[in-house]
Amino acid sequence: MSLASIAASAFSIDDLRALSRKRLPRAIFEFYDGGAEQEITLRDNLEAFKRMRILPKSLNDVSKVDTTCELVGGPSAMPLAIAPTGALNFGRHGADIAIARAAAELGVPYSLSTSATTTIEDIARAAPGRLWFQAYILSNKEKLAALIARAHAADYEGLMITVDLPVGGKRERDFRNHLQFPFKYTPRNVMDFAMKPFWSLNMLLKGVPQMENIKELKRDTGGGQKLSSTAGKNYDPAFDWTQLQIMRDNWSRKLIVKGVMHPKDADRLARMGIDAIVVSNHGGRQLDGAPATLDALPGVVRAAAGRVPVLVDGGVRRGIDIMKARALGAQGVLTGRATLFGAVAAGQPGATRALDILKDELSRSMQLSGVRTIREIDAELLFRP
């Protein structure tokens, strides 16, 4: 069965998730799918979108709808950008480039993670669309500066600073599955990998991926940079407002700050001259007990007060979720897991399928709600019992 046929068999992001789960060893799938501790925040990100309702308008001509919009100072095919997602090639070789190309072909921004398994330069060559580089705050400041300089040289239009990872969240699924990157083989995970022979054979033939942009950082005695429950080992918990201001002063292009939940932080970022704020709780993978991002969004939007665009990520699985975020005041959403599931399930056709599903659902939801353009999506569509 071809990758295109596999992708075409999916009619929702949940279908792509199921295809990914079927293909991957349990440890790898749960690394992507799981969250921190009891996964309260992970689940609440999804439930917040389910709790919210849209109050449709009737008798409007919706024979044609337009999903295009401005997103962080540039054009986008819909109010969506690809969130930075690490370790993708452990799910399928070439997944980073597959998603970047799908994003460029559709016309939405793509964010490359510091912990990606493809280099900054390879993404820029393979998918010359709207590119943002997401920088974790490494304790090795020379390495961090070098990564940012490489992104600038490769013409990335935006630098995304993630501020919600001073230390790593406690991801208990990874402990139970004996998962760390690079792999440290144990009887438990070797048996897990053996249960998925096609995935295992692919890893043997093409080689085990590396975190290409940070592979030379100090390695653990267990074998290297970990992105399981010990994520954050190489990150700087002392990073503060003064250091962020220095970054603002030194980076002349778009500067996006991701991982904002508190309204007071949003107000200060707006006064600092940040170009965009992303309301994010790291997909429920950090502080378990933080609110759902959709619930935190209105407070951040009020604090930003129109001075800076606000985006939101976490829990986006349907096109109507994009509408709901817009109605609450977000300029757009970021999604990581949706395209991750697509690429892992079926390579670039799968990543394209994920974006096509979201765009189709968004268009359909707009028609059924009586709105023709993204600008018409506003608070009047919110249903408040």
Strand partners, 279: 260, 312
Query: Would you call 65 exposed, middle or buried from its count of C-beta atoms within 10 A (0-12, 13-18, 19+)?
Result: middle
C-alpha to C-alpha distances, 340 to 127, 138, 146, 304, nearest whole angstrom: 17, 24, 27, 30
Query: Checking DSSP bridges between strand 382-383 and strand 53-54, what pairing results, if any?
Result: antiparallel
Give catalytic residues, as residue numbers. Answer: 282
On the question of a cis peptide bond just before residue 298, with omega within 30 degrees of 0, the verdict is no
Place of tokens 């490359």: 112
| Rounded Cα distance, 349 and 17, in Å | 14
Plot region of 155 (φ>0 → left; ψ -120 to 50 → alpha; else → beta): left
The tokens 């007060």 sit on which residue?
A: 305
Phi, psi of 176 (to 5 degrees): -65, -35
- 208-29-189-207 Cα dihedral, nearest 10 degrees: -10
Q: Return d(Cα 326, Cα 159) in angstroms, integer.
A: 23
Name the one residue in this structure whose structure tokens are 């449709």. Answer: 56
- Inter-axis angle of helices 197-206 and 187-194, to 10 degrees? 100
CB 66 within 8 A of CB 374: yes
Neighbours of 14 (CB within 10 A): 14
